[in-house]
Amino acid sequence: MDLQLFEEKIGYRFKDKKLLERALTHSSYANENKLPHDNERLEFLGDSVLGFVTAEYLFEEFKFRQEGALTKLRAAVVCDKSLFKLAEKIALGDFILMGKGEELTGGRNRPSIVSDAFEAVIAAMYLDGGIDVVRPYILSFIKDAVKREANFKDNKSLLQEEIQKQKGNTLVYEEIGEFGPDHEKVFKFVVKLNGKAIGSGEGKSKKEAEQAAAGDALSKM
């Protein structure tokens, strides 16, 4: 395993190389070679670090989206499928130390193994360099992922899908106010289901306010 090449791919030089090696050590390899450590504890920590940085970014980026919508967006961004796609860009699977049996059964291309190793690498970076090192690295790849997921299905579309599960339902968005100076105007909307308000939200544009209202409604379902 060429640790130096992997460091070049992620753009970070580890002070403690053993941390990186542990992050890339699958349990099957550790068991076969009777090693005291694998990457599972690091994966546990990396999952939390990734979740925190992602949540922090979403909190700041989508100021008018409600908790329910932010939770769904974060889950979509940090799921195994998304992490596997990101890990493929740095050929992470090629660097994982794994047992012969695991490798023969396609372990290097198994999303669960590769995504876990990806989280372990994030934890290793955090332990080696701190949050100021790992935060920009995480942001370098989650921003595009967030943009894709946020645009793939917006709150209004998701709410419409929920409402259409029962025939005869009607959704209407109504503007109920606006405030602030012209250059920083904020709009407030309410969304009604069959004439009854089920969510409200604010935004810097009418579209953003409608999305926030839909997100509020979704968070209550």
Q: Which one from 102, 119, 202, 210 is the annotated catalytic residue?
A: 119
Q: Which one from 47, 102, 128, 202 is the annotated catalytic residue?
A: 47
First to last CA, the chain: 49
Distances (CA, A) of 6 to 131, 132, 181: 20, 20, 51
Q: At 170, list the tokens.
A: 């009607």
CA 65, 181, 213: angle at the middle one, nearest 5? 20
Counting every residue written for the chain, the total comes to 221
174 as an active site residue: the answer is no
**Torsion angle defined by CA atoms of residues 125, 126, 129 and 130, in that order, rounded to the nearest 10 degrees:** 160
The DSSP 8-state label assigned to residue 171 in this structure reads E
47 as an active site residue: the answer is yes
Please state the φ and ψ torsions of residue 113, each to the nearest 5 degrees. -70, -45
Report the catalytic residues.
47, 119
